[in-house]
Structure 1
Amino acid sequence: MQDTHLSLLAALDAEELFLLGVRASQANDTAAALAYLKQAVAKAPEHARGHWLLGAEYASLGMVDRAREHFERSVALDGQLPLARFQLGLLRLTSGEVEAAQEVWAPLDALPEDDPVRLFKDGLLAMVRDEFERALELVRRAVATPGVDAALRRDMEMVLGQIEAQRAGQAPAVAAAEAAADPVDEAPAESHLVLSAYQRGFAGNSH
């Protein structure tokens, strides 16, 4: 049975393996998602979305170095995946690398001014600068964006709570950003930012 299963997997191409990885991640089956995605990028090292989702799975396990490696690979392969770039910057921000996060996020300024990803990253940067009123304004605008999906909205609402806490003097700004993006948070699988992006159509290209 195991040999048959391995034979079936060997017959699949990278895109098929990637889609199986998406389904496993949606089901919160991290082990299966990792297995499918690792095979996908082994078969097609240029598969940007595969590296992106693999990085997100590693981030959910707290394996920051591996998450960073795959986010960086994804962005290098396809700089037009806004949430892949956003997540790489967020990983750097929550590691205390504020300037590096700003550098990664700079191309997001090409997005429309009312794009929720751009608003969200601007809000986080304002929070780090202790500009709490500005941060609240930006993230609230992102949350109120028509059509923003529930998963991304949930993450933004969590950040709103962190900004409110920081404004009340309860936590350092970078620590607040780190708490907002903690990969071991109790958020359900549907709040997974990468899956949110996939469902919004950011995965439209084959790589």
Structure 2
Amino acid sequence: MAHQPTALSEAEAAAERGDHTTALRLLKAAASAAPTDAAIAYRLGAEYAHLELFDAAEAEMARALASGPEHPVARFHLGLLQITRGRFQDALATWQALDALPKDHALRCYKQAFEHLTEDAFAPARTRLEAGLAGWGSAPTLDRDMRRLLDSLPA
């Protein structure tokens, strides 16, 4: 008997092919069935963020961290949402736990890049973004976003 894909993998496949309505429907149903599943809460938050439903995205990312505080991708993404909404101090507080990650962990490097960017220190921000892209522990969507940010920085 063939393995039946989970709601999470089905939702991710739908999002990859641009069917965000189906992805959102599947993720909401999965979140309702498993309200303490950090991975589902994170993916639902990421889908909301993609759809620019930022309040809902933040709420789901926070729920992911409440369910699984060790989820560094959710932690980074929540901080990123907070920054894009002009709440850098909130992002710093959210990201504080990322300092415990190994020095070559992508998310720690990305966090450090944003700290440099707040001071318009583009060269060290570029270095930290490059280190993050060469590192490990991120997610493909975040890596793409960080690559775009790196490409947009002044030389």
Instruction: Give TM class, smaller chain.
Output: 0.7 to 0.9
TM-score normalized by the length of structure 2:
0.88
Tell me the distance in 1 between the aligned counterparts of 2:99 and 2:134: 19
* Percent of residue pairs bearing the same amino acid type: 34
The answer for the alignment partner of 1:58 in structure 2 is: 48
For residues 102-135 of structure 1, the C-alpha deviation after alignment (integer angstroms, 9 at most, x for no partner) is 0000111111101111101110121012222211
The answer for the alignment partner of 1:155 in structure 2 is: 145
Tell me the distance in 2 between the aligned counterparts of 1:150 and 1:69: 22
The alignment status of 1:69 with 2:48, answered yes or no, reads: no
Q: Which letter does structure 2 place at the counterpart of 1:163?
A: L
| Count of residues paired in the alignment | 152
Out of 113, 118, 127, the position equivalent to 1:123 is 113
Question: Residue 116 of structure 2 contacts residue 124 of structure 2 at CA under 8 Å; is this kept in 1?
Answer: yes
Tell me the distance in 2 between the aligned counterparts of 1:52 and 1:148: 13
Residue 144 of structure 1, CA deviation:
3.0
Gaps of 5+ in 1: 1-11, 168-207
TM-score normalized by the length of structure 1:
0.67
**Root-mean-square deviation (CA), in Å?**
2.3
Q: Which letter does structure 1 place at the counterpart of 2:125?
A: A
Q: 1:133 to 1:54 in 2, by over 3 A?
A: same
Q: 1:110 to 1:146 in 2, by over 3 A?
A: closer
The structure that has the greater radius of gyration is 1
The alignment status of 1:145 with 2:123, answered yes or no, reads: no
- What SS does structure 2 have at the residue aligned with 1:109? helix
Higher relative CO (CA 8 A, sep ≥ 6), structure 1 or 2? 1
